[in-house]
Chains A and B, each alone.
Chain A
Amino acid sequence: MIELRNVTKRYGLSTFGVRDLNFEVRDQEFLVIYGPSGAGKSTTLKLLAGIIQPTAGDLVRDGESLLKVAPESRDMAMAFENYALYSHMSVYENLAFPLRAKKMTKQEIDERVQRTARMLQISDLLDRRPGFLSGGQRQRVALGRAIIRPASLYLLDEPIGHLDAKLRHRMRGELKAMSVDLRATIVLVTTASREALALGDRIAILREGHLQQIGTPNEVYYQPANEFVASFVGEPPMSFLGIEPTSENGQLYFNMQDCASRLRVPPQLAQHLNGETAGYRLGVRASEITVAQQQDAGHCVPGQVFIIEQMGYCNIISAKVGNGLVRVVTDSTVTAKRNETIWLSLDAEHMHLFYQHKAICHPTRFVDEGRANAAGMNAR
């Protein structure tokens, strides 16, 4: 287990790579570091690898500080975002390079190189120099060089981001299989929400060098810690509506901005309100609501159709509700015209409540499901 303790990396006087990071990489876990570009994801990997030293804080592996351990002695393997291939060597030699450092026999090196090349579908490229490969092929060589040898920790910096869709899908499976079969500990950096959710045993979400949340895919998906996590994890992003709690005849309501209809506040939500009227927002995922052409008991909030995106297996309708935009995933058979009025099944009971961008309440249904799934994952 590797712990990051208050790790800060500062460049120059005021530029921060990462700030006060606290989390641990557990043994045999697949940890995904996820965030927008410039969030400090690569910096975190390089700190783990020992390529850069933290300005403050400590990295501890099994109780011992890693700061004095040179990169070559940390027993970690890394695939770089920009590939970092040895351009004066053939693909074969690139793959064999880390094995030669381990003083493996010729036969063993050859076996491993051939096996890794087969897995990455680069067997016919072994004699070439990196300069004569396409971007996707180079990325596979870079990934191959990282995973070719046993290592206590694999650090993969967007290792499959530049592959074509089909190969990326396959490599995702290979990486997942590698983590399960070899019981490898993997830290993978990505900017793709789908990749993060599909691969990670846990996901650490970074923003501007700060850790926003770390947890299982279900936790970060169903119980996002703040609006940033909620909007960044899952596709399409969560929709937010600005609301104002009001009281009428002893019953609490959420008034939506610029919208005639209001939402009844369920009692379990009411206890989280602190008397303020500003700063509240409700969040709802596109897959958690439904639409209807006509108003009925379940669909009582009107919205104007803004955009329809056709994804093949589903349609995503963006509808204006008040001055907010709500996205809904519908069956691909559902069609609507722009500016047409549709009815949404918005219900505060099934929505996430945020106060000043921090989550204060999640819908119970999803909290329970999240826990159940998380427990199942841990048991496995």
Chain B
Amino acid sequence: MLQQRSSTPIEILRYALIVVILTASLFPIAWLIITSFKPADDIMVSPPRFIFTPTLDNYTYALHKANFMHFIQNTLYVAVVSTVFVIVLSSLASYSFARYNPGGGNILFFILTTKMFPAIAVVLPYFLIFKEIGDTAVGKALGIGLDRPGALIVSYTMFNLPFAIWLMVSFFQDIPRELEDSARLDGYNRLQVLWRVVLPLAAPGIAVTAIFCLLFSWNEFLFAYILTRDAARTITVGVESFFTLRGILWGPVAAAATISVAPMLVFVLILQRYMVRGLTFGAVRG
């Protein structure tokens, strides 16, 4: 029997809902991009002007006068390095949790407890710790200390690690054990099996985890605000610096925000194709 087509009122409602949701989610981004090209006089006027002469003044201001390029470099460095640390540590840890379950689940739960307090509760202790470490030779050599990127890398790694482990354990558990057994019999040792069979199959999970970690580090504000001043300042804190005592520089804020959204958008689009679940589809029967 042929399936009946959905009735027209429901179709209309469906599309209306889609339009509402899209408008709600895309409007801030549209406002951001439009504002970043507006001359200062055309921003914050009522009624809003949709016709104006586009200008690159806001970008010039943000990039040159406010040294925004430097903030981007800092953010990129901190976010990428902490993400790499998190991925390496958490993939090894979660593989081990998934296969051998050390501590019978207690250690895994303990790891989660480190996420159970608000970030603000630890930021002051961190401040004091990094202040002390920054004065030592080790801190100087590793770039760990107040207003140094190392402080943020350590903080972000600490913060993302529990979450990453929990996310990836389930991905590793989904990989059938027989694949590893089979690879062993095919003549590969444990490390080779991990490298050639387990990690490729866990790639979607690793990609998802990497995206989450990178986005968190990229958008993090509190730690960056407390632990850095100038040398290691990141984008989020940089944007905040346009909120001056004399007023908010809406144009440069919009330009800076637009710039900071772009890299993450590109990154997520690239990794999106790895974000398909079911790479192990077809590995075992049933």
**Which stretch, B110-118, B138-146, B179-187, touches the partner chain A?**
B179-187
Within 8 Å by CB of B283, from A70, A87, A135, lies: A87
Known A-B contacts A72-B188, A72-B189, A88-B201; A130 and B283 likewise in contact (beta carbons under 8 Å)? yes
For window 67-103 of A, CB contacts with B under 8 Å fall at 70-72, 74, 76-78, 80-88, 97-98, 101-102
Asked if A51 and B184 sit within 8 Å, CB to CB, the answer is yes
Asked if A85 and B282 sit within 8 Å, CB to CB, the answer is yes
Within 8 Å by CB of A133, from B183, B203, B282, B286, lies: B282
Known A-B contacts A84-B179, A87-B201; A76 and B185 likewise in contact (beta carbons under 8 Å)? yes
B178 interface hit (Cβ, 8 Å): yes
A266 interface hit (Cβ, 8 Å): no
Nearest A residue (CB) for B181: A51
Nearest A residue (CB) for B179: A84
Contacts of A77 in B (CB 8 A): 185-186
Asked if A82 and B184 sit within 8 Å, CB to CB, the answer is no
Asked if B176 and A131 sit within 8 Å, CB to CB, the answer is no
Asked if A78 and B185 sit within 8 Å, CB to CB, the answer is yes
Asked if B285 and A131 sit within 8 Å, CB to CB, the answer is no
Asked if A145 and B186 sit within 8 Å, CB to CB, the answer is yes
What's the tally of chain A residues with a CB closer than 8 Å to chain B? 33
Write the B153-196 contact mask toward A (1 if CB under 8 angstroms, else 0): 00000000000000000000000101101111111110010000
Asked if B279 and A101 sit within 8 Å, CB to CB, the answer is no
A313 interface hit (Cβ, 8 Å): no
Write the B191-220 contact mask toward A (1 if CB under 8 angstroms, else 0): 010000100110100000000000000000
Known A-B contacts A131-B282, A133-B282; A80 and B181 likewise in contact (beta carbons under 8 Å)? yes
Within 8 Å by CB of A82, from B185, B189, B284, lies: B284
What's the tally of chain B residues with a CB closer than 8 Å to chain A? 26
How far is B181's CA from A49's CA once the two chains are assembled, in angstroms? 9
Asked if B282 and A84 sit within 8 Å, CB to CB, the answer is no
Asked if A97 and B201 sit within 8 Å, CB to CB, the answer is no
Contacts of A78 in B (CB 8 A): 181-182, 185
Asked if B281 and A80 sit within 8 Å, CB to CB, the answer is no
Contacts of A71 in B (CB 8 A): 181, 184-185
A172 interface hit (Cβ, 8 Å): no
Write the A118-158 contact mask toward B (1 if CB under 8 angstroms, else 0): 00000000000111110100100000010000000000000
How far is B283's CA from A262's CA once the two chains are assembled, in angstroms? 59
B73 interface hit (Cβ, 8 Å): no
Within 8 Å by CB of A84, from B181, B200, B203, B286, lies: B181
Asked if B281 and A98 sit within 8 Å, CB to CB, the answer is no
B280 interface hit (Cβ, 8 Å): yes
Contacts of B283 in A (CB 8 A): 83-87, 130
Asked if B282 and A82 sit within 8 Å, CB to CB, the answer is no
Contacts of A131 in B (CB 8 A): 278, 281-282
How far is B200's CA from A145's CA once the two chains are assembled, in angstroms? 19
Asked if A101 and B282 sit within 8 Å, CB to CB, the answer is no
Contacts of B282 in A (CB 8 A): 85, 87, 129-133, 138
4 closest A-B pairs by beta carbon, nearest first, are A131-B282, A101-B187, A84-B178, A98-B186
Q: Could you jot down 17 A-B contacts, CB within 8 Å?
A: A50-B184, A51-B184, A71-B185, A72-B188, A76-B185, A77-B185, A77-B186, A80-B178, A82-B176, A82-B284, A84-B182, A84-B283, A86-B182, A87-B282, A98-B187, A101-B187, A102-B187
